[in-house]
């Protein structure tokens, strides 16, 4: 049993356009948690994580504001949740370093996302890309966060975070210093797949823009992408079992269910027997209705970048006030005299 106050932390990388996968897998859940007064909430734009691969500075600066705009446009209220970008709060980088000394090479060697991202060119990957999950652990544990809403692909990083917390508590004989944070993964939307290939995750880094719906896509583009989405020639089944072995159909039905707030069974009860010629226009209309207004609001917010920066600065101040005492205790625990006071 943890004795830590319920606190939610999550983040997104500003490495390109946010997608429907980011929205359904994580962001929508950030917003839903806002209605649960039991939790304090911090939502971060993880710009320090973005630089683990090469970034153009002007683009990074813009996409960082854009992710903040997506947070707000999706319904996060900067008064009820703390919104900020990671590099404004130095505790993340400081604790990240300490955790690179707690985590073991063997643990990081097992991370599947590093293997995917580094590909064949491992020798040339940045050291930061390898130690990426230690910074993620620092993001969460600098606030002693207890709950972390994420998509399925972050589960392994969360397990590593728990291992780091346990090793720190154990090595320094400070039981319960850090909590064991719980991932909050929405089963139905944990893994939204590419529109071009039902075996791949929908991703902002996929070379094909047709593989994803971006939150900034306009109504015509959203409809076009859904019209062109890969499918099979069979009509939709009337029951969920009939989607087995049909990953593209399963994905589109899952998106429909998530966006309309009903179960897959309900979608199939209504649309079972239909071919994709009839189902796709219904899905396109629904997606446009739910997603296009977010993009419009993001564009409106991006017209006043100073206002976004003011929100992030205010959030960073509140976040820093929570993290600083934790960091002070960490330095003391490690015998690093006066650490963190510069
Ligand atoms: P990132 O920026 O890749 O993705 C942000 C969030 O979106 C989820 N997600 C998806 N969910 C369902 N289907 C998809 N196709 C899909 N694509 C992305 C991700 O699971 C994630 O929740 N390492 C993190 C960022 C991070 C973080 C943190 C998260 C840094 N520090 C601390 C939580 C807590 C990442 O790269 O997410």
Beta strands at 7-12 and 40-45: parallel, antiparallel or unpaired:
parallel
High-pLDDT (> 90) share of the chain, %: 96
- Which residues are marked as active site? 117, 201, 204
What pTM was computed for the model?
0.97
Average pLDDT, rounded, for the chain: 96
Q: What is the pLDDT of residue 67?
A: 98
For the cut 80, the answer to whether the pLDDT of residue 211 exceeds it is yes
Taking residues 78-104, report their average pLDDT: 98
Task: Return the ligand 1 atom nearest residue 136 CA.
Answer: 31
For the cut 90, the answer to whether the pLDDT of residue 341 exceeds it is no
For the cut 70, the answer to whether the pLDDT of residue 87 exceeds it is yes
- Ligand 1 centre distance from Cα of residue 276 (Å): 30
- Ligand 1 centre distance from Cα of residue 27 (Å): 9
Give the integer Cα–Cα distance in Å for 280 and 31.
27
Say yes or no: CB of residue 283 within 6 Å of ligand 1. Answer: no
- Ligand 1 centre distance from Cα of residue 90 (Å): 21
- Which amino acid residue places its CA nearest to atom 26 of ligand 1? 11
Q: What is the pLDDT of residue 16?
A: 85
Higher pLDDT, 185 or 121: 185
Task: Return the ligand 1 atom nearest residue 145 CA.
Answer: 34
- Which amino acid residue places its CA nearest to atom 31 of ligand 1? 136
Taking residues 105-128, report their average pLDDT: 94
Q: What is the pLDDT of residue 342?
A: 63
- Ligand 1 centre distance from Cα of residue 69 (Å): 17
Q: Please report which confidence band the pLDDT of residue 3 belongs to, taking 50, 70 and 90 as the band edges.
A: confident
24: which DSSP letter? I
List residues bridging with 82 in a β-sheet: 42
Provide the residue ranges of all domains of the chain, joining segments of one domain with +: 7-189+305-334, 209-300
Query: Per CATH, is 7-189+305-334 categorized as 3.40.50.620?
Result: yes
**C-alpha pair distances (Å), 115 with each of 109, 112, 211, 257, 341:** 8, 5, 22, 32, 37
Q: What is the pLDDT of residue 330?
A: 98
Q: What is the pLDDT of residue 121?
A: 87
Topology (CATH level 3) of domain 209-300: Tyrosyl-Transfer RNA Synthetase (1.10.240)
For the cut 80, the answer to whether the pLDDT of residue 283 exceeds it is yes
For the cut 70, the answer to whether the pLDDT of residue 1 exceeds it is no
For the cut 90, the answer to whether the pLDDT of residue 256 exceeds it is yes
Q: Please report which confidence band the pLDDT of residue 2 belongs to, taking 50, 70 and 90 as the band edges.
A: low
Taking residues 203-219, report their average pLDDT: 96
Contact by Cβ (8 Å): 319, 89:
yes
């Amino acid at each position: 049993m943890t004795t830590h106050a319920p606190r939610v932390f999550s983040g997104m990388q500003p490495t390109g356009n946010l997608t429907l996968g980011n929205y359904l897998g994580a962001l929508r859940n950030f917003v839903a948690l806002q209605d649960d007064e039991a939790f304090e909430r911090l939502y971060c734009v993880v710009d320090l994580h973005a630089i683990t691969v090469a970034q153009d500075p002007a683009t990074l600066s813009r996409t960082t504001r854009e992710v903040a705009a997506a947070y707000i446009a999706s319904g996060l209220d900067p008064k009820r949740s703390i919104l900020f970008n990671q590099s404004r709060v130095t505790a993340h980088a400081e604790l990240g370093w300490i955790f690179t000394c707690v985590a073991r090479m063997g643990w990081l060697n097992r991370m599947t996302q590093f293997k995917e991202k580094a590909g064949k060119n491992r020798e040339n990957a940045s050291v930061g890309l390898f130690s990426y999950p230690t910074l993620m652990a620092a993001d969460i544990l600098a606030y002693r966060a207890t709950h972390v809403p994420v998509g399925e692909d972050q589960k392994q990083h969360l397990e590593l975070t728990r291992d780091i917390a346990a090793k720190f508590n154990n090595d320094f004989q400070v039981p319960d210093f850090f909590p064991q944070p719980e991932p909050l993964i929405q089963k139905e939307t944990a893994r939204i797949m590419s529109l071009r290939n039902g075996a791949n995750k929908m991703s902002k880094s996929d070379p094909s823009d047709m593989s994803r719906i971006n939150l900034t896509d306009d109504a015509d583009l959203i409809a076009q992408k859904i019209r062109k989405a890969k499918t099979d020639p069979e009509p939709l089944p009337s029951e969920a079992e009939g989607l087995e072995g049909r990953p593209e159909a399963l994905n589109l039905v899952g998106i429909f269910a998530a966006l309309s707030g009903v179960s897959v069974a309900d979608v199939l009860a209504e649309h079972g027997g239909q071919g994709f010629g009839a189902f796709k226009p219904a899905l396109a209309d629904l997606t446009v209705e739910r997603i296009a207004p977010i993009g419009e609001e993001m564009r409106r917010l991006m017209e006043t970048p100073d206002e976004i920066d003011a929100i992030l600065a205010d959030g960073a101040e509140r976040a820093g006030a929570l993290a600083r005492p934790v960091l002070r205790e960490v330095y003391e625990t490690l015998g690093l005299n006066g650490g963190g006071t510069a």
